[in-house]
Structure 1
Amino acid sequence: MLRSANKAKGNISSVFAHLGASTPEIDPRFLELKKQIAPKNPDVLRKAFDRVLNAMEIESQTIRQRGSAVIPEVTMEDIKANGGRLPSKLIPEVKKRGAVVVRNIVDRAVAAEYKSSIQDYIQRHPGIAGFPEDNPQVWEVYWSQAQVKARSHPNFTATAVALNHLWHGDKKAPINLDSNLVYCDRMRIRQPGDGKFTLAGHIDGGSLERWEDPEYRRCYTKILEGKWEEYDPYDVTHRIEANMDLYDAPGGCSMFRIFQGWLAISKITPGGGTLRVCPLVKEPTAYFMMKPLLEESMGTSNFMGAWPGRCQDITTEDHPHIVDSMVSVPEVDCGDGVFWHCDQIHAVEPKQTMKTDSSVLYIPSTPMCPRSSDYLRRQRAAFEQGLTPPDFPANDCEEHFDDRATPAMLTEEQKLGMGFAPFSETDGMSEGQLQAIRDHNRSISQ
């Protein structure tokens, strides 16, 4: 079965409460969950939360002063010159900020051709679903030939691997940071003047799951103990098997997107409907994880913007210190990429004020691990049949398009990332890497 029978048709708004998605009631059992996971002494989290507030106030001064310039930047050439890794001097700042702009991943002319090709594809097939429904800016398109090429571009794969290696874990953990799998997502062509595709502050990769799923919760043990300063946002150990989608959400992600990302296929300036982020990882994560568990909130099942099967909203009402610290990413050109940590709070500017379109292909960094390999097998079946990938609303718009990408068009390199060919073991691999590759090859052989 490609997807849950419960997956309905829809668009990107299906998972965002602030775009109109319903907010299911939170079961009273979450009151008991709060009691189970919060320290018995309420002063532990109160003092820890006060320290977070102080830290964010200090950091926000720098963020306000520097604005978009606070986001680190690197070029594809710098990554190649450093043996496929981010330059060492840049790593501490990228890890602190959680976001990075990578310049020149794809040649500008090639990236512009991607957009032109996709626009032609959409025009040839009127009626493709998207959001807003009356004038789509975010299209339910996954299998255009340009998207398939972009996701497996050698430079994009190299960038993803470089980002993967900002993370670490036990050598026995079944993950291979050297191998990046392909997660097939949507694309955006946001027209001048658009004000409907505005995403308020939110976090992907689950919502209530961060507290509810025992393995996911273990990622945040230090935070929940009130020792947030010791929390490591780049430890993969408990993320590999974390269940980020307990409720079969219409926008849940079944793969481990170690960094979310997009590839620009147009020039995009601040004010052009671009991405906004809170350029910190540790402090905001501690903030939104602890605040629902403070003593004054323990009498309610409310998790402050987190609902079953929806993205977690970050709001001025519940998270003012985070919202006030958000900035737009710097100007980018065709072929540049923007990436942000899987726990990073992000948003989309409310208005597209450029005179030209603001266009991106959503492509994350997704290292090989058992959960991702299992999804890749299901995604592969959707690709073969032209169906919407299993994580997304079941529109299946491209099923009968004779000009969509097909497996026969894939290069040998593209077959690896898309699950049509096995990965090879090499000398020097850790026990965990070898396990990840063997599990992957076994999974895609089914």
Structure 2
Amino acid sequence: MMAASQLKPKGDISSVFSHLGGKETVLDPSFLSLKKEIVPEAEDQVKIDEAYQRLLQSFEKEAAEIKEKGSAIVPQVTFAEIEANQGQFPAHIADEIRKRGCVVIRNVVPEQEARDYKDQVQEYINNHRGQIVGFPANDPQVWEIYWSQSQLAARSHPNFNTATLALNKIWHASDSAAIDLSKNLGYCDRLRIRKPQNKSFALQEHIDSGSVERWLDPEYRKCYTEIFNGNWENHDPFDATHRVEARMDYYNSPGGCSVFRNFQGWLAMAEIKTGGGTLRVCPLLKQSTAYFLMKPLIKEYIDKNDYIGALPGLCQGIGKTDYPQIIDTMVSMPDVGYGDAVFWHCDQVHAVEPKNDSQVDSSVLYIPSVPLCRINSEYILIQREAFEKGLTPPDFPGNHCEERFEDRAKPSTINKMEKLNMGMTTFPSLPTDATSGQKKALENHNKILGFA
């Protein structure tokens, strides 16, 4: 891990999207031999090709329901329902999340608090006009700020913590895997205030958390063993056993994610309607993951040094020509309001609507779920140093806009929960029935952050 003083080059959110100007690179010839490593024998090729055909049939079967229900296919639940169920999703909602990969949780933060977040953020931006980088540069919709008071407060809001821990409970890992899904850390991300009628912040279909890394990194590849063996139906997207040591950013890209975010997410600071510049997803998590991982390996592509949308240092792109079944099953989020939260799985194909076709802004704080494990603790250490100095967090372009802002959040201004979230204090001792993996995760955390 790099030190906070060695953060990434300057830039903005466009840096990892080729359609927004991110720099495309070519694949090294070694990527062709990597295909042969994954599909070494003729019988393996047959299994992949047959599995691919079953996959296309599954898309065809599922498409009718998705087309009929549209945004209603996305699971929805209130925060009160999670609270009433001992901090867990009701069983039928959890099952739907496992299939669809996403969820809307309503009323995570009270409406007035979410409105106050937005007011404070807008004041913060207005106080520093001309000093903050945003995209696009001529009319920013996504701001390169991380340390506003609102962002710190929202990331560690007790309700938001409960919501993300409920998400963690959908996941599982072997008892020996060094991860504790009962604890989350703070990952400090950007925010969006997308203006009415805006067309400039349109993110095409893509997947985060690496691109070629899913094939390239041996441990990351283990997350998808069933897919690469031609048994995609048996793939478990919620097994964290091999994700805790997977390397998701080989290229130190200026926007690549180096932590294990089991769910990406955002908290709404506006009334965001379907069509109002909101998130879009493919609600077939298992099928879409198998599709973009297997297609470069089928007979038609196995001898081509082409991973069909995956390039070093950029997000995995999903285009209409190459992945029509995914594009045709994309749906927008249902209408959400102030304080509602939206989450989507780290392997989920997602996009942003091409236009905010409404009369109000589409504003969110990006906040994912980040469980306790070694790679996340190591990141938190460097992020903590960046916070103390007012620098950009290590995964993001090194603009350091906020370094001299007196009104940013600082270690002296944050509360007990925020300090825990930021790795400035540590968690209580584990119960006696904790798994060996949970114990190891906390032991690693305390050593990395200097608490042991």
Structure 1 contact 60–325 (Cα < 8 Å) conserved: yes
Q: Deviations over 1:208-260 (max 9, x none)?
A: 00000000001111100101111111000100000000010111112110000
Structure 1: distance between partners of 2:142 and 2:72: 27
- Give the aligned partner of residue 33 of structure 1: 34
**Which residues in structure 2 correspond to 1:210-289 (within 5 Å)?**
210-289=214-293
Name which of 417, 422, 446 aligns with 1:441: 446
Equivalent residue for 1:354, pick from 336, 352, 358: 358
* Residues 267-416 of structure 1: pairs in structure 2 closer than 5 A: 267-416=271-420
**Displacement, 1:413?**
1.7
* Aligned with residue 130 of structure 1, among 134, 138, 145: 134
8 Å CA contact 2:205, 2:351 repeated in 1: yes
Secondary structure of the equivalent of 1:295?
coil
**Match in the other structure for 1:75:** 78
Letter in 1 for 2:247: N
Of residues 157, 169, 173, the one that matches 1:169 is 173
Separation (CA, whole Å) in 1 of partners of 2:299 and 2:61 = 25
Q: How far is 1:3 from its partner?
A: 4.7
In structure 2, C-alpha distance between the alignment counterparts of 1:6 and 1:75, rounded to whole Å: 39
Please state how far the C-alpha of 1:17 moved relative to its aligned partner.
0.6
- Contact 1:31/1:299, CA 8 A, preserved across alignment: yes
Q: Is 1:150 equivalent to 2:154 in the alignment?
A: yes
Q: Which residue of 2 aligns with 1:66?
A: 69
Partner of 2:12: 11
How far apart, CA to CA, are the structure 2 residues paired with 1:224 and 1:103? 37
* Counterparts of 2:118 and 2:415, CA distance in 1: 21
2:47 corresponding residue in structure 1? 44
Question: Do the aligned partners of 1:277 and 1:326 also contact (CA within 8 Å) in 2?
Answer: yes
Counterpart residue identity of residue 410, structure 1: I
- For residues 171-205 of structure 1, the C-alpha deviation after alignment (integer angstroms, 9 at most, x for no partner) is 11111111010000000000011101000000000
Distance in 1 (CA, whole Å) between partners of 2:90 and 2:13 is 35
Q: Distance in 2 between matches of 1:55 and 1:276?
A: 21
Letter in 2 for 1:71: V
1:60-101 CA-to-partner distances (Å, cap 9, x unmatched) read 111000000000011110111011111112111111000000
Question: What RMSD in Å do the two structures reach over aligned CA positions?
Answer: 1.0
Secondary structure at the counterpart of residue 365 of structure 2: strand
Render the CA deviation track for 1:18-61: whole Å, top value 9, x for unaligned.
11111111111111001111252222111100000000111111
Residues 4, 248 of structure 1: 8 Å contact kept: no
How far the C-alpha of 1:434 sits from its partner, in A, is 1.1
Contact 2:389 2:403 in 1 (8 A): yes
| 8 Å CA contact 1:424, 1:437 repeated in 2 | no
Q: Aligned with 1:407: secondary structure?
A: coil
SS in 1 for 2:244: coil
- Deviation, structure 1 residue 5: 4.4
Matched positions, count: 446
Give the ranges of 4+ consecutive aligned residues of structure 1 lying more than 3 Å apart after TM superposition: 3-6
* Cα distance in 1, alignment partners of residues 187 and 36 from structure 2: 37
State whether residues 266 and 366 of structure 2, in contact with CA within 8 Å, keep that contact through their aligned partners in structure 1: yes
State the AA in 2 paired with 1:201: E
Q: How many angstroms apart in 2 are the aligned matches of 1:307 and 1:5?
A: 24
Structure-2 separation of matches of 1:423 and 1:91: 27
For 1:172 and 1:294, the matched residues in 2 are separated by 35
Identity percentage over the alignment?
A: 53
| 2:23 corresponding residue in structure 1 | 22
Q: In structure 1, how many angstroms separate the alpha carbons of the residues matched to 2:106 and 2:224?
A: 32
Structure 1 length-normalised TM:
0.99
What's the counterpart of residue 211 of structure 2? 207
Deviation at 1:163, TM superposition (A): 0.1
Q: CA deviation at 1:6?
A: 7.2
Letter in 2 for 1:67: G
Gaps of 5+ in 1: none
Amino acid at match of 1:104: N
Q: Is the 8 A contact 1:306 1:312 kept in 2?
A: yes
CA–CA separation in structure 2 for the residues paired with 1:6 and 1:144: 20
Task: Tell me the SS of whatever aligns to 1:74.
Answer: strand
Cα distance between partner residues in 2 of 1:345 and 1:3: 31
Query: Helix, strand or coil: the match of 1:297?
Result: coil
Alpha-carbon separation, structure 2, partners of 1:210 and 1:3: 27
Q: Distance in 1 between matches of 2:17 and 2:350?
A: 13
Q: Which runs of 5+ in 2 are unaligned?
A: none
AA of the residue aligned to 1:193: Q
The Cα shift of 1:2 comes to 2.6
Q: Separation in 1 of the partners of 2:103 and 2:311? A: 29
Q: For residues 298-341 of structure 1, what are the alpha-carbon distances to aligned partners after superposition, in whole Å with 9 as ceiling and x for unaligned?
A: 22211011000100100001111101100000000000000000
Task: Tell me the distance in 2 between the aligned counterparts of 1:153 and 1:170.
Answer: 29
